[in-house]
Structure 1
Amino acid sequence: MGTPMADYGDGTRCVHGGQAAPEPGAPLSHGPVFAAPYHLGGGDFYGRAGNPGWRGLEEAIGELDGGRCVLLPSGMAAISTLLRSVLRAGDALILPSDGYYATRELVRDEFAELSLDVREIPTAGPWEDGVFDGVRLVLLETPSNPGLDVCDIAALAERAHAAGALVAVDNTTATPIGQRPLELGADIVVASDTKALAGHSDLLMGHVSVRDEELAERLVRARTLSGSIPGPFETWLVHRSMATLDLRLARQAENAAALAEVLREHPAVSGLRWPGMAADPAHELAGRQMRRWGGVLRFELADAGAVEEFVRRSRLVVAATSFGGLHTTADRRAQWGDPVPEGFVRLSAGCEDTADLVADVVQALG
């Protein structure tokens, strides 16, 4: 693959990361590699074990995360592969009680046979003395999804390590250019690249990044043996899409800031949260550990009907249960079982013109 990009800025790394070295007469941008078996004698031998497209994208993401990236076919595949590679029967596990609901369901339903000691703690705490005692893995999610609370990664990692625990951070909401948990003391980064990293709402992908080579090899082996592998075309699409991550995130954050400004004064809106807003309870802490703001904010309307009416009246906001894409989306999270009020909205600001988006949201709220 190409030259390491550590000395370059975010935009340059997004565009050039993991790209093949220039070759006269070869395509400027190489296409996906479709192969099951390979001609023997080279590095690759079978498609389930390796693919040049995976390695290119893994290099690009790993450069941003600051570790070795292992690509998986979805965010949940990344979470489940991590948990199965680290946890053993009877281990203690800390999960965010306000994080992504499917992670809690996975542990409760699919890991029941391990008889884990599962401790659920809100992202903002309280993180009491002794909470890490006997824990094998701490999974943090900051900013949390959907509440957008924030926890101190460095401080919690120090305490967890002192108790002998590993620390993983779900970095989906922040993205690898918004926050680098490995540099803050975490052992593991996990993310759904379906969201902002791919950013076009048309595919699924996930990854785990670590600095421990032995753990990385365990993850690769788990991926190979389980067959939980990313498709070559999807991998190519993510790598192509990642080139604009820096630009997309900048516009999304600009739009989120403008929306937060008008929503905080709107009489129909309550419970507004966006870490980039100076009045947000998490702003100071988020500003210390995040490198830039994202495009996801949350607020509450009166009830489910008010959310439905808001989406119906809007010309630019669509109802969808993902975030980080080009289009602005609204998701009423209570419908999926999140413990939030019926009128709770997670809004993912897209890449529309800021003035158009703000005007549309204001008129849709009435």
Structure 2
Amino acid sequence: MNDRVARLLNHRKGRLAKGDPVVAPIVTSATFHLPDVQGAAHVYGRNGSPTWEELEAQLAILEDAECVTFPSGMAAISAALFATLGAGARLVIPSDGYYVTRILSSGFLASFGVEVVEMPTAAMETADFTGATVVYLETPSNPGLDVIDLAATSARARAAGALVIVDNTTMTPLLQRPLDLGADLVVAADTKAPSGHSDVLMGHVAGRDAVLMARVRDWRRMAGVVPGGFEAWLVHRGLETLEVRLERMCASAAVIAARLADHPAVGALRYPGLAGDPSHRAVASGQMANGGFLIGFTLADAGRAEAFLARCFCIAQSTSFGGTHSAGERRARWGDAVPEGFIRLSVGLEPVETLWRAIAEALPEG
């Protein structure tokens, strides 16, 4: 992984001529000079852009696979699903995963003749995938942080004739590598940790099957779901600090999770990095590099959870995660099947003792 990060940081070097900018330039042009179409590197802004391509080159190094970028994580998820499904297909998705994926599937794909089957993430590990066209996995699940054996589950799905798509947003390719574990496609919201500063929407699809990736790329071009040059540049810049940010965030999350587990007001804590967590086996087996930066825990009720979030000055009350600042929210307000007092906490870059002091002061008494 260290070699991969080094190549990411220097991926432009071999292409630079004397006087070229070391930092990738922002190209916002929708049109390109075309006295002759043949041999043109760029034809039209919907087909490709130099700045997207710099970002895709970085992501390809991290994923060790072809990558196609999109203007949001949901755009990437949509592209992967529309590129692999059609009328009469059967899609298996997690009932406890990202709720917008479920809405897309039941509200749109189902109306186009796709059979949508929902099941909990934990059940995917032993589920019968016979007849499935696509098995869509999200591990750790968002927000519950359940983890399944990706290699074993992918192998069973593919043996049943299904394609496997894995949402790897919570881990990034630095902490978990689904393509190495049997997935056909990976989708991710680069809005989160890869960008890291909560100031841009972006997503990508990665895969090693040229035919599948051509379908994904065609979907982007035909649907017109293309990223902007400035947005691509922001994510390109963010990726250059991803490794060091993750190191701090994950180390702090391990400390915070252990202390929350011992707090009398906290119940049902989930963090895969803790030895007693049901998902810890994925860390112990090496599927995940560590426990990540997300923690799930439950306070007694919705009122106590909201009061805690309002009192803690180190936690932004926002619905995303993976940013430089710690962020938390009560997930039941979005309809997730979690207790009313369940909080998803994304640990940021604050000094860990300062962050813990703010959390401890804001927590209710046991």
TM-score (norm 1): 0.95
Indicate if the aligned counterparts of 1:66 and 1:183 stay in contact, CA closer than 8 A: no
* 1:22-52 Cα deviation digits (max 9, x unpaired): 3322222132111111012421010100111
Task: State the 1:127 CA deviation.
Answer: 4.0
Cα distance, 1:9 vs. partner?
2.8
Aligned to 2:338: 340
Match for residue 4 of structure 1? none
- The alignment partner of 1:298 has SS state of strand
Aligned position for 1:120: 118
Cross-structure match for 1:54? 52
Aligned equivalent of 1:65: 63
The aligned residue for residue 88 of structure 1 is: 86
Counterpart for residue 213 of structure 1 = 210
Amino acid at match of 2:333: Q
Specify the SS of the correspondent of 2:45.
coil
Q: Distance in 1 between matches of 2:64 and 2:124?
A: 29
2:256 counterpart (251, 255, 259)? 259
CA distance in 1, matches of 2:42, 2:25: 17
Contact 2:4-2:61 within 8 A present in 1 as well? no
Check if 1:181 corresponds to 2:178: yes
Aligned pairs (5 A) from 1:20-35: 21-35=15-29
- Cα distance change of structure 1 residues 179 and 85 upon mapping to structure 2, 3 Å threshold: same
Counterpart residue type for residue 24 of structure 1: K
**Mean CA deviation greater in 59-68 or 257-266:** 59-68
Q: 1:19, CA displacement in angstroms? A: 6.3
**DSSP 3-state at the match of 1:191:** strand
CA contact (8 A) 2:125 2:148 kept: no
- Is 2:9 the partner of 1:12? no
Alignment CA distance shift 1:34-1:205 (3 Å): same
In the TM superposition, what whole-angstrom CA distance separates every residue of 1:105-151 from its partner, at most 9, and x where no partner exists?
A: 0111112322322221211116446x211111000001110000001
2:186 paired with 1:192: no
5 Å matches for 1:105-254?
A: 105-125=103-123, 127-128=125-126, 131-254=128-251
Can you give the 5+ residue segments of structure 1 that lack an aligned partner in the other structure? 1-6
| Aligned counterparts of 2:243 and 2:8: Cα–Cα separation in 1 | 7
CA contact (8 A) 1:68 1:209 kept: yes
Q: Which letter maps to 2:101?
A: T
> CA 1:73–1:244 in structure 2 vs 1: closer, same or farther (change >3 Å)?
same
What is the RMSD computed on CA atoms of the aligned residues?
A: 1.5
**Greater mean deviation of Cα atoms: 117-126 or 101-110:** 117-126
**Match of residue 302 from structure 1:** 300
Contact 1:65–1:180 (CA under 8 A) maintained in structure 2: yes
Following TM superposition, by how much is the alpha carbon of 1:93 offset from its aligned partner in structure 2, in angstroms? 0.8
User: Does 2:32 match 1:38?
Assistant: yes
1:104 maps to 2:102: yes
Aligned-pair CA distance for 1:215: 1.1
Contact 1:255 1:354 in 2 (8 A): yes
Post-superposition Cα deviations, 1:194-233, rounded to whole Å, max 9, x if no partner, equal 1111110011000100111111111111101111000110
Match of 1:312 among 306, 310, 323: 310
4+ long deviations beyond 6 Å: none
Q: Which one-letter code corresponds to 1:149 in the other structure?
A: D
8 A Cα contact 1:14 1:246, kept in partner: no
Alpha-carbon distance change, 18 to 141 in structure 1, aligned in 2, over 3 angstroms: farther
Q: Identify which range, 11-20 or 224-233, moves more after superposition.
A: 11-20
The alignment covers a number of residue pairs equal to: 359
**Kept in 2: contact 1:10–1:246 (CA 8 A):** no
* Distance in 2 separating the partners of 1:19 and 1:97: 45
**Contact 1:142-1:171 within 8 A present in 2 as well:** yes
Q: Check conservation: 1:196, 1:325, Cα contact below 8 A.
A: yes
Q: Shift of residue 191 of structure 1?
A: 0.5
What percent identity do the matched residue pairs reach? Answer: 49
Residue 20 of structure 1, CA deviation: 6.6
- The alpha-carbon deviation at position 286 of structure 1 amounts to 3.4
The one-letter code matched in structure 2 to 1:194 is: T
| Residue range with higher mean Cα deviation, 11-20 or 336-345 | 11-20
SS in 1 for 2:121: coil
Larger displacement relative to structure 2 (10-19 or 87-96) = 10-19
Q: Normalised by the size of structure 2, how large is the TM-score? A: 0.95
Distance 1:127 1:30, change over 3 A: closer
